């Protein structure tokens, strides 16, 4: 069993004393050191180095080592990003935001005490997500949509933009941000539709009763089930393919993030994106009356 140190250089220098910082919420310690990197023009730039130590089994095959390298890189990144969130609060520097895998790259692996590379001589490096060229699209249709939106002097729906932001956050490893963006989209699109349905169904009834129901906060999932069933004879509870259980699981995760500071995993962010896309589509198909 070897002790391996994984290390990265942050894109900047933190004004923190060198040493070890415990990160029990995501497992382990992060060591910070004053370091430097050589820029393409040959000059050096001061940057903070962050590292952590993990146990690596002896005589693992290359495929197993690569999987562990990726897992340890994600663990170190979660630790560093939690530290950065506290550093951001302590310094008031709004520009210090969580790092993506690409921004933290390269991840270097050295056997502690020997200086020998572990898992291959090449550091683990993630490339920034490139902008894919859309395929099988109709340029004229896209152009018509853009022109119409501009001519109407409107902005795109905030829920659709939030889902796109969530998908991007997922692609660069910001899983907690992705989950929160998804639930911002869900909350925005569903609550607005619910209020429109209440106003339409009760338009000829006592205004104070209508306003009371629109202002009553009796829980998002209650509105998605009982409330929607009464207003539109439809409930999200009855959706096929285990959707309600997936929605509830993601909703509980959202609450743990907000109330307990939970750190989301990639699979949890993927589930949140799936749930958000489904709800936005369902709500879009509901009539306003």
- pLDDT tens-digit map of 126-183: 887 666 666 677 778 877 888 888 788 777 888 888 898 899 888 877 888 999 999 9
pLDDT at 85: 86
198 and 281 fall within a common domain: yes
Cα 164 to the center of its chain, rounded Å: 11
Q: Is the pLDDT of residue 16 over 70?
A: yes
Instruction: Output the six-digit token pair for 219.
Output: 């829980």
Is 138 contained in some domain? no
pTM: 0.65
Domain count, the chain: 2
Mean pLDDT computed over 86-103: 88
Mean pLDDT, residues 42-62: 87
Q: Are residues 86 and 168 in the same domain?
A: no
Same-domain check for residues 255 and 185: yes
Q: Could you tell me the residue range of the domain that residue 251 belongs to?
A: 156-285
Question: 49 lies in a domain?
Answer: yes
Decide if 209 is inside a domain: yes
Query: Is residue 70 scored above 70 in pLDDT?
Result: yes
Question: Of the ranges 78-87, 148-157, 202-211, which is most confident?
Answer: 78-87
pLDDT at 216 over 70: no
181-184-188 Cα angle (round to 5): 145
Q: Do residues 182 and 68 both lie within one domain?
A: no
Same domain (yes/no): 163, 273? yes
Q: Write the burial class of residue 201 (CB in 10 Å: 0-12 exposed, 13-18 middle, 19+ buried).
A: middle
Same domain (yes/no): 275, 161: yes
Tell which of 82, 111, 140 closes a domain.
111
> Does 96 score more than 70 pLDDT?
yes
Count of CB atoms situated within 10 Å of the CB of 129: 13
Q: Quick check: is 259 in a domain?
A: yes
What is the CA angle 33-34-38, rounded to 5? 120
Q: Is it the case that residue 32 has pLDDT exceeding 90?
A: yes
Which range, of 57-66, 212-221, 249-258, averages the lowest pLDDT? 212-221
Does 82 or 26 have the greater pLDDT score?
82
């Amino acid at each position: 069993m070897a002790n391996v140190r994984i290390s990265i250089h942050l894109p900047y220098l933190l004004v923190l004393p060198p040493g070890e910082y415990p990160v029990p919420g995501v497992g382990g310690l992060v060591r910070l050191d004053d370091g430097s990197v050589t820029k393409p023009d040959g000059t050096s730039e001061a940057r903070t180095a962050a590292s952590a130590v993990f146990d690596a089994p002896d005589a693992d095959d290359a495929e197993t080592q690569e999987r562990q390298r990726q897992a340890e890189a994600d663990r170190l990144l979660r630790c560093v990003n939690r530290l950065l969130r506290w550093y951001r609060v302590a310094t008031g520097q709004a520009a210090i935001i969580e790092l993506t895998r690409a921004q933290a790259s390269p991840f270097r692996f050295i056997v502690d005490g020997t200086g020998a590379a572990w898992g291959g001589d090449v550091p683990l490096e993630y490339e920034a997500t490139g902008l894919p060229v859309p395929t099988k699209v109709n340029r004229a249709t896209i152009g018509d949509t853009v022109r119409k939106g501009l001519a109407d002097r409107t902005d795109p729906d905030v829920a659709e933009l939030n889902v796109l932001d969530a998908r991007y956050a997922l692609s660069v490893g910001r899983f907690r941000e992705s989950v929160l963006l998804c639930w911002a989209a869900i909350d925005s699109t569903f609550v607005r539709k619910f209020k429109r349905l209440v106003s339409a169904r009760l338009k000829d009834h006592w205004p104070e009763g209508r306003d009371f129901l629109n202002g009553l906060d009796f829980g998002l999932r209650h509105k998605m089930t009982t409330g929607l069933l009464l207003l539109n004879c439809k409930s999200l509870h009855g959706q096929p393919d285990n959707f309600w259980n997936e929605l509830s699981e993601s909703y509980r995760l959202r609450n743990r993030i907000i109330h307990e500071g939970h750190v989301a995993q990639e699979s949890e962010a993927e589930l949140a994106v799936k749930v958000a896309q489904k709800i936005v589509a369902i709500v879009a198909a509901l009539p306003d009356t």
